Amino acid sequence: MFKAFQQSIVVDSAGKLAPIQNSPRKPFSDFLIARVKGDEILEYTGSSSNPVEFEAKGEKLDAGTQSSLKSRRLPPEVFWSRYPLDEVTQGVNDSLLGHYPGSTAAMNGLGAMAILIRREKGLLELASMEKPADIFAQIAKAVEYDPSLVDITVAQAPQIARLLYRSNLVNGLNEQLPEVDYPVHREPFRSIYLEGYKRYLENDAKNSVGMQWLAQVGTKTEHSQKLTLMFEDFYRSEAGRQCEVYSIQLDYLRMLTNQGIFLHASDQYAPRALENEKTAALYIQAGYDWRLSPALTSYREAGPYERASQWVQDMIRIFKGEDSNSTEFWGLAGADQCAHGRDILKAIKATDPKGFAKIRERLPQWATLGCLALGVLTIQEVENVPSAGRDNAMAQDLGL
């Protein structure tokens, strides 16, 4: 028959099973399963991270007996391959787990055992009780006994995440990223984590999860590099591409956009995304329609291109009134006052060339030359460029 024990097995001085065993306690989540005959321990198995000490209460256990008992340990995969799941399950339930129904198993430190024996039910019960940082350790222990639990856990990931990340979502997600023992880039942790991450994004989250931690540690470690790849793969997936652009951290959004990975950019979020001129260019590149920028609403012109023309002139007004025949005019391109305008114009030109052409048609000559000075336009695209402008363009081409 089979019996389950938590953390340690109590024996007498001869190495026989004691009639009274230790009760489960929350701080101890490791467990042992033994095949026994009467009070004789034939063989047993346990997590590799659990150094088993046989305990003889009130009596001294000599070194030979201790050594004999320890020699009967089998690796989980060997133990599990020898005995059918149903037979072991019955023994575990009869000897220990059956006394802790439902979520009380998790409350008493038997969460990993409950996952192993109760499968999907045990996973969901544990998720309803534990913090994210704790459940991964329990799953890892159960998987060590039975690797087939990986596929079962992945299939249950949406339900697990719904229960696990029911509160303190941001903290739960961020706290798990640095975890090396149970890394979220490895299954089955990956599926659970990404389901939670998707819930976070769907709730209009902003700039708190994922890249914030990765930015702090950089990509110096193999662990952080694998996490970066995990997020990239997520955004390449169908679920990731449906995420709203505005919910993604800026550093990560910039990386995705540069890689040609485009997410969902809905019109309802465009005004919020484009209201800050410091980041508007990135959001335009990522897919938001520049016509929905709140900056355009302050102009009274009739059409979007007329309003946009005034908007452009305001963004690069540093050039207005300056002599385009002077080298000083062309030197203004390095001024901070028009840096954001330059980036926004380049983004509009790259994402909506036809719309940009209509804006340009409505620009006065000084603004057109200003766009040339800023590098938004090339000298081949502008007529009647003064000699100072041609000299400036040539110097730029030569890298001077």
Picking from 389, 374, 359, 383, the residue whose alpha carbon sits closest to that of residue 291 is: 359
Higher pLDDT, 219 or 36: 36
Task: Inform me whether the pLDDT recorded for 131 exceeds 80.
Answer: no
Q: Which two tokens stand for residue 133?
A: 């940082």
Q: Which two tokens stand for residue 124?
A: 């969901």
Q: For residue 390, give the H/E element and its range.
A: helix 387-397
Task: Inform me whether the pLDDT recorded for 8 exceeds 90.
Answer: no
**What confidence category does residue 124 fall into, taking pLDDT thresholds of 50, 70 and 90?**
very high
Three-state DSSP at 1 gives coil
Picking from 164, 191, 144, the residue whose alpha carbon sits closest to that of residue 48 is: 144
- Rounded mean pLDDT of 150-161? 96
Yes or no: say if 368 and 324 are a contact pair by the CB < 8 Å rule: no
Q: Where is average pLDDT lowest: 205-209, 211-215, 255-259, 341-345?
A: 205-209
Q: Where is average pLDDT lowest: 9-18, 51-60, 154-163?
A: 51-60
Q: What is the pLDDT of residues 247-265, one digit of tens each?
A: 887 878 888 899 888 999 9
Q: What is the pLDDT of residues 28-46, one digit of tens each?
A: 778 899 999 999 999 999 8
- Check residue 395 and give its pLDDT: 65
Residues shown for the chain: 400
Neighbouring residues of 58: CB distance < 8 A, sequence distance ≥ 6: none
Q: For residue 45, give the H/E element and its range.
A: strand 40-46
Give CA–CA dist 358/355, Å, rounded.
5
DSSP symbols for 162-224? HHHTSS-HHHHHHHHTT-SSS-TTSTTHHHHHHHHHHHHHHTT--S-SSHHHHHHHTT-SHHH
Q: What is the pLDDT of residues 323-333, one digit of tens each?
A: 988 888 888 88
- Check residue 269 and give its pLDDT: 92
Burial of 303 (0-12, 13-18, 19+ CB in 10 A): exposed
Task: Inform me whether the pLDDT recorded for 121 exceeds 90.
Answer: yes
- Rounded mean pLDDT of 7-25? 86
**What confidence category does residue 9 fall into, taking pLDDT thresholds of 50, 70 and 90?**
confident
**What confidence category does residue 400 fall into, taking pLDDT thresholds of 50, 70 and 90?**
very low
**What confidence category does residue 215 fall into, taking pLDDT thresholds of 50, 70 and 90?**
low
Picking from 362, 216, 374, 159, the residue whose alpha carbon sits closest to that of residue 135 is: 159
Q: What is the mean pLDDT of the chain?
A: 87
